[in-house]
Structure 1
Amino acid sequence: MQAFMGTVLTLAAGGIDLVFMDEPETFLHPPQARLLGELVAEMSRATDTQVIVATHSDDFVQGVITGSKEDVDVSIVRITRPSDTENKLAQVAPEAIKSIYKDSLLRFSNLLDGIFYKGVVICEAESDCTYYSASLANVEDTDGLGASDLLFTHVGGKDRMARAYSALNAAAVPTAVIADVDLLADKNKFEELFETMGGDFGVVSASYNVLDASVRTLKVEPIRNDVRSKVAEILDRSQNPIIDRRDLTEMLDLLKAESGWKQIKRKGAGAIDTGDPTAAFASVIAACRAVGLFILPVGELERFHPNVGGNKQAWLRQALEHELFKTSGESQDLVRSVRAFVASRQ
């Protein structure tokens, strides 16, 4: 409390134009560090004081962002030492911080914790982060590698990947992205992320167009006789006179067309037509990996262990409890490649 109140009273006293603080979170528990960060931002606004803080606390940083709202210009400067004689500085501008604040999912994620790590891997969902973290730890153990000090963080889907990457890139945090193959289903979204990460879409546009045109021809419309027989199977598997929600959902799904990209996500790259489409896919994947965008040729996370059923959480529980991540050569090769890419950017 003495450390906490000493900081607060210094700002509250007023009349100070510029305040320097060195690790004000020292001696504080994480919730207190976060609260102190909020108060520093709020009191900076109230007293018109510029505050410069050196910190190693992600909780303090999160508190500052929360307390700043959209009224306080907050900038984050990341300092690293590539060698004994060199300091490297990179800055996240106030506009980028405000953009993160406006997006609740990013604001309450651990995205900016990445400034304290050697590198960050952005994923679509929390389950992806958990699985890849376990897989990487296993690879580092079996390969005799040192800890890579990577943070796996998710952004709740594909829509925020470009924004999240931009914020980390501004702070010069080496960053990679792992995405399901259906990222390619939306040309605009894929192009935005690819170019945000330093790629030139013009270089891959021809290959992408060949691939996309081929995959879209794989669309499957519901066939009357197939739907009729499968509905009968669903109805006959239970003696319950009431159709439950699970049965109803399955029957409604039978009436939906399945896009080509959904099939590729469910079956993997093996479902892509041979010849030019397969060559185009390989070209796109290679170009993406060159900038740190790792698109899953298997389709999606669950395809690493296709024999495991259930929803994603049930699948993840099985993969972790039975240590299945130790048996998938594809997932291990993936995290090795991601680790090597991030290391090359440090």
Structure 2
Amino acid sequence: MRENAVFSKEGLFRVICINAQQCSTNNQMQKQYYYYMDPYCDIYRYSYETKSQELLYQAEYVVQTYRISDKYLFYTYKLEGREKINRVNLETKEEECIYENPKADNLQIYLENGYLYIMTGENDKYAYRAAEDANFATDLEETNSFFETNDGISTDTEQNVKVGNKNVVIRRDKRAKAEMPYSYQVEGEKEYSISCFEGNEYNRSQLFQQYMIPEGKDTIIGIMNVSDNARTSVDLYQHDIKKDILFCLDIDTGESKILYDTGDNNTRIIGYDSGIIYLFKEDYKIYSHTLTGEETELMSVPHSNDIVFDWSGDYLIVRYRGSDTETGKNEDSEYNVQVLETKND
């Protein structure tokens, strides 16, 4: 892999999700604001109207996951080996621990229709819920309804995608010499290999739920960061990435193919929506690229080794910290934010 002409090998360019369809639940229902967490676990709110961000909450603990409603911030953290959930009133800043996980196993939280859902377990999965302003000590109830309407918990080896009314599991074979490292299974049907990932080139890489979306009734479109690191496939630095690919899988026929291949790590795929691929190139510019090959420059991004690309509503959000592009050292502690409206692209 040749040395990147502009991108530093220490660059970390993270993509949160493939498009707004898979955006964080913190931002799915938001019209005015975009919420994000910085590397120090402080939570910020960016206003689309004023184009400015404000510090919303300064965390005392290392935040693992968080969810935000109009009134509350919920976040998970680990203290003395136990996973816990705190609730913060965003107006009064009053904070309390509302749940301690007795299983200490894969704790996840979701907000939906005024309820906080608490999910635990990997093999044996459990779900609980209570109204977001409830007394969790007395009002928390066990429920199965969340599993009936959502994709469930994804793990290191299984990623869940809902295509129409079909639940699909994408499985990863983690063995180093696996010839067919990926397979898929529609609920209630047989398991099949994903043929476009055949061979050793992809067996160090990983697929993520937030990088895959349904398109039409029977198709999954997804992004893969092809890893060049034998030990990791998550949050890859530039020197760990061979290239990015965009693929499609027909879950009805089993046909799969690579729709776009960047060829190396000098171009990164940062999103896809309705036949348009969004690319971040070594000139620090973002382009839209159609599947027929037409390409349009959209915006420039300041040079940085720490950039996060995210999607919410009609917007592509770019967060970046000032850094020395040669040494990789971050010079700013806070992220700057740029926003691009893409609905008319």
Same fold by TM-score greater than 0.5? no
- Between structure 1 and structure 2, the one with the greater Rg is 1
TM score, norm. by length of structure 2: 0.23
TM score, norm. by length of structure 1: 0.23
